[in-house]
Chains A and B, each alone.
Chain A
């Protein structure tokens, strides 16, 4: 089952590369996306009783993998339908590389989600970097080159640092006289006897390395550029899929630190990173003139919220797991609807884009609702998860953290609000833009469905889903 899950997008990518027709090639995306989603559900269902594993336990599915796999698969499936509409609009540009890279990107993300070996995890995460770089460059102008180069260099160097961290963890085993292995279960079993200084050094490098990929401040500098210049559908996959995955890698390092009995240090580091990210996001969100870059800072903010949730522990960890899903899907809504607005106005600057609600009514409404959802307004699901994290913070007696958390969230709400409102309302600007652009079923349907999922999860959390989140949270709460 897992093998099929990994092979399907790979084969799809290969087929996309070989297929000669630009018109029919994008149809491979929903086929693979739906297939991947079905396989993911099968893996999640089948995985409850027996642990699924493959290739000498290098690949296995635990509750965290299930959660991340579901997030990535849901988001990709939605984006794949949207991409068909988008690529039809951009038919003149060709899409061979774009479609192939999207599918390879999906394969790499799935591999990273189920990797049970630190080396394999690293290989998969680096593969996501190289597979997504051509996607960012799709618009082929000087801005997208700049964004691609920054993304490629920063993430590659970041990931190289993570490799150093992995080597340090292995050295900690060597120095502690434990079995030297990077298989994750072996590490968790032996971590108690690891040499502490090397393990801590490894943790720092892993945190910086995968933190660059997840986009924690101040390592987030590639994010606004890449999200701003990439097509909306790529932005959605980066902000919802890739960052969740990098966060998974960070959670793995947290698990190792917990197993070594050094979890407190790791949690403090997570808390600091989280608060700094919230602070950075709050500063840059205010008067942000570019609504796609605005979403990038929102992504930095939500990485911060996730880190804080995990750092506090207890009920906040459950909130963070829930928030991983909510953030990914809401980012999908925002980026996809922002992409539609961007195409209608051929601009993403606030002064030039006004009154979107009269020209692209559905996308603009979705953008507005997505904004309300991501900033934690009820009845959407991010409200539940952010509130759960907040409850965890105050229950744990971290009043200063709680106060700062609320303050930054309020600032970000106001900052984002002023930009979003001026994009959505006001008198429409008609200076440039594409008056022939029409919203279609696929380009508005996808964000609508994602928004409905968010709304549904906010009103009612079904038992299987609750169990999925609770099991993932339990994995992080195991203390020796």
Chain B
């Protein structure tokens, strides 16, 4: 377990950012914390698999995309549409924080019961991955702004990335690169759609998007 220690510290930081994201209303800060979270995650392959070519490229690519390019796109999107805060989320900040805490606690309890292999037992990767997935889901369902929903999706992807760390040998570099590229393009397209939503409705709240229903 000892060689996991630096990685464990990073994972705890990831959890702290999860809580911050659930509790903060300032979009700028939210985007920056998703960026830092992505940056922290991109260091994980180095601690987990050493300084091999594979992990260096993966870490570098993830850092460039998750830490720099995607936040840049999102920051540009909110600058263009002049919004600063998430007003009235569907569920208040305190209840979402409480739910997030419960989900994190649940993740730790649940991952103790999973049939993990010996070297992963007691590791923080699985509970933190689950907790991050839950945070992403909470963001997706409780926030109204298109941008916070996109952030929820990114946090969700971060959770998947943490899981992926345990299985680096299964994921060839080409595929990792493809995954990251897809993510980048998806966020790029989301940014464009946000801009259009804002132009059409002069708000970015997705509850305006409710004319299509049965």
Chain B CB within 8 A of A119 CB: yes
As a 0/1 sequence over residues 180 to 208 of chain B, the CB contacts with chain A under 8 angstroms (1 = contact) are 01100110011011001100110000100
20 contacts between A and B (CB under 8 A): A119-B175, A119-B179, A120-B178, A122-B175, A126-B186, A133-B193, A137-B193, A140-B196, A146-B212, A150-B209, A150-B212, A152-B193, A156-B186, A157-B153, A170-B171, A171-B166, A175-B115, A180-B170, A228-B212, A284-B214
Please, how many angstroms separate the alpha-carbon atoms of A470 and B201 in the complex? Answer: 52
Please, how many angstroms separate the alpha-carbon atoms of A149 and B164 in the complex? Answer: 27
Q: Which of A159-167, A248-256, A335-343, A370-378 contacts B (4 or more CB under 8 A)?
A: A159-167
Once the chains bind, are B200 and A127 in contact (CB under 8 Å)? Answer: no
Please, how many angstroms separate the alpha-carbon atoms of A181 and B166 in the complex? Answer: 13
Chain A CB within 8 A of B35 CB: no
Once the chains bind, are A181 and B170 in contact (CB under 8 Å)? Answer: yes
Q: Which of B132-187 contact A (CB under 8 A)?
A: 133, 140, 146, 149-150, 153, 156-157, 160, 163-164, 166-167, 169-172, 174-175, 178-179, 181-182, 185-186
Contact of B189 among A130, A145, A146, A182 (CB under 8 A): A130
Chain B positions within 8 Å of A156 at CB level: 153, 186
Count of chain B residues with a beta carbon within 8 Å of a chain A beta carbon: 42
Once the chains bind, are A195 and B115 in contact (CB under 8 Å)? Answer: yes
Please, how many angstroms separate the alpha-carbon atoms of A148 and B179 in the complex? Answer: 21
Chain B positions within 8 Å of A137 at CB level: 193, 196
Chain B CB within 8 A of A143 CB: yes
Count of chain A residues with a beta carbon within 8 Å of a chain B beta carbon: 46
Chain B CB within 8 A of A153 CB: yes
Taking Cβ atoms with an 8 Å cutoff, the residues of B that contact A are 115-117, 133, 140, 146, 149-150, 153, 156-157, 160, 163-164, 166-167, 169-172, 174-175, 178-179, 181-182, 185-186, 189-190, 192-193, 196-197, 200-201, 206, 209-212, 214
Chain A positions within 8 Å of B192 at CB level: 134
Once the chains bind, are B211 and A153 in contact (CB under 8 Å)? Answer: no
Taking Cβ atoms with an 8 Å cutoff, the residues of A that contact B are 117, 119-120, 122-123, 126-127, 129-130, 133-134, 137, 140-143, 145-150, 152-153, 156-157, 160, 163-164, 167, 170-171, 173-175, 180-182, 195, 197-198, 224-225, 228-229, 284
The answer to whether A145 and B160 touch (CB under 8 A), given A170-B167, A174-B117, A284-B214, is no
Q: Which residue of A lies closest to B170 (CB)?
A: A170
Chain B positions within 8 Å of A284 at CB level: 214
Chain A positions within 8 Å of B170 at CB level: 167, 170, 173-174, 180-182
Please, how many angstroms separate the alpha-carbon atoms of A129 and B160 in the complex? Answer: 19
Contact of A143 among B186, B197, B212 (CB under 8 A): B212
Once the chains bind, are B146 and A149 in contact (CB under 8 Å)? Answer: yes
Q: Which residue of A lies closest to B117 (CB)?
A: A175
A interface majority secondary structure: helix
Once the chains bind, are B212 and A134 in contact (CB under 8 Å)? Answer: no
Once the chains bind, are A171 and B175 in contact (CB under 8 Å)? Answer: no
The answer to whether A146 and B178 touch (CB under 8 A), given A129-B186, A174-B117, A198-B115, is no
Chain B positions within 8 Å of A164 at CB level: 133, 160, 163
Please, how many angstroms separate the alpha-carbon atoms of A160 and B158 in the complex? Answer: 10
Chain A positions within 8 Å of B185 at CB level: 127, 130
Chain A positions within 8 Å of B206 at CB level: 149
Give 3 closest A-B pairs by Cβ, nearest first: A119-B175, A123-B178, A170-B170
Q: Which residue of B lies closest to A136 (CB)?
A: B193
Once the chains bind, are B153 and A160 in contact (CB under 8 Å)? Answer: yes
Please, how many angstroms separate the alpha-carbon atoms of A224 and B146 in the complex? Answer: 20
Please, how many angstroms separate the alpha-carbon atoms of A150 and B211 in the complex? Answer: 12
